[in-house]
Amino acid sequence: MTNFAATKAMFHLPEGVLYLDGNSLGPLPKAAAARVGTMLQDEWGDLLITGWNKAGWMAKPTDLGDRVGGLIGAEPSSVVMGDTLSIKVYQAVASALELNPTRKVVLSDNGNFPTDLYMADGLLRSLGDDYELRVVDPEAVADNLTDDIAVMMITEVDYRTGRKHDMKALTELAHARGIVTVWDLAHSAGAFPVDLAGCNADFAVGCTYKYLNGGPGAPAFIYVAPRHMDQVRPALSGWLGHESPFAFDLDYRPGSGIERMRVGTPPVIQMTALETAMDVWDMADIQDVRTKSIELTELFISEIEAACPMLTLASPRDPHARGSQVSFRFEEGYAAMQAIIARGVIGDFRAPDIMRFGFTPLYVDEADVRAAVAIIADVMTNNLWDQPEYKVRNKVT
């Protein structure tokens, strides 16, 4: 059984803050500053260029890939870190399309995070006018898995509402229609158990700065099912995905296995911070995290609904149908969230009217939830948000 008091003690949580935004940016692992400092001084500083070998920098993308893979049900050597989620979406969709060359349609839903749609759209424009990005309502995905579709590109958990797709069922249905799947796990990895291998998923991507706590701008990851590995030609064919990068051949030959999804020089400092975050995961069981997350979200919903009748639940009521966040709709949600943040409860706002709260058992406990509810209820029932200062929209996140 995971000792959540122990994992909570591994994070720096500022005094006076109740942090319900770990679904956007996880907090600082206490070990990060010292470890990154050591990496800078002892590795970059003293080893200089030889750090690529002597300090294992070159292997970090696959070493960390295996650690992240352990949380998402990936086979060993099927996950590699690098770039941003947007870039990894591009690689995954481009590669998936090549596995299904007679079809020209990518299906997604309008609950997907916009960058996935933007990247796919940009890719399809490059490929030609006969390609199509088809975007349907989230509830209509299953019915739209027709046999003209090459790739189904779906984010498992809706970033606004927390609604969770059924990965196993949709993947099976897609495969039955000859469709290759790309799953975006941005709001899944570290939030609940994911079983990529068990679901027979084809490609998956995700970021590591949300529930995995890797820090601002932490690298993304990409998963390729081992059965596809040798057939995949990476669209973004960078030198570190080459079979022999340091031969400096003029022609590209994809590297073996998941290594071919590497592109350029990996961000060693960011990966070092991420390592300290993954050390916390070594102490946690992801199934325990899910169980606790459901307890916390159920508590939050029942308390908020009792205290704040003006808020409308936007997340699914069935805990198994949502990720690890809870969202409420409120017309003045932007101002309300600013007032709540000003009082030390950090959640976030998503246009047009979503107030979003993330629940992360590694460092958020029942007492935190009750304390946060008290503050939110005070703001909402006393209309404390109705101040001009809270209505100025100058925030970028």
- Binding-site residues, in ranges, read 85-86, 113-116, 155, 184, 187, 209, 239, 265
Q: Cis before residue 352, ω within 30 degrees of 0?
A: yes
Q: What's the closest the beta carbon of residue 394 comes to a second copy, in angstroms?
A: 8
Judged by CB under 8 A, the residue of 3, 12, 137, 309 near a second copy is 12
Judged by CB under 8 A, the residue of 162, 267, 319, 333 near a second copy is 267
**Can you tell me whether residue 107 is helix, strand or coil?**
strand
Q: Does 49 bind a second copy (CB under 8 A)?
A: yes
Q: Does 119 bind a second copy (CB under 8 A)?
A: yes
Catalytic residue among 163, 210, 260, 322: 210
The answer to whether 266 and 81 are in contact (CB under 8 A) is: yes
Catalytic residue among 4, 90, 113, 359: 113
Whole-number Å distance between alpha carbons of 151 and 143: 15
Catalytic residue among 11, 19, 90, 209: 209
Whole-number Å distance between alpha carbons of 345 and 177: 46
Among residues 39 and 149, whose Cβ is nearest to a second copy? 39
Q: Per CB under 8 A, which of residues 78..117 are in contact with a second copy?
A: 83-87, 90, 94, 110, 113-115, 117
CB atoms within 10 A of CB 145: 19
Q: Does 130 bind a second copy (CB under 8 A)?
A: no
Catalytic-residue membership of 356: yes
Q: Does 50 bind a second copy (CB under 8 A)?
A: yes
Q: Does 46 bind a second copy (CB under 8 A)?
A: yes
Q: How far is CA 231 from CA 61, 199, 234, 249, 255, in A?
A: 21, 20, 10, 21, 11
By CB under 8 A, the count of residues binding a second copy is 90
Catalytic-residue membership of 113: yes
Q: What's the closest the beta carbon of residue 63 comes to a second copy, in angstroms?
A: 14
Catalytic-residue membership of 350: no
Catalytic-residue membership of 209: yes
Q: What does the radius of gyration of the chain's CA atoms come to, in whole angstroms?
A: 22
Work out the end-to-end distance of the chain between its first and last CA atoms, rounded to an integer number of angstroms: 35
Maximum separation of any 2 CA atoms in the chain, in Å: 68
Q: Does 62 bind a second copy (CB under 8 A)?
A: no
Closest by CA to 155, choosing from 122, 120, 92, 109, is 109
Q: Does 271 bind a second copy (CB under 8 A)?
A: yes
Please list the active-site residues: 113, 184, 209-210, 356
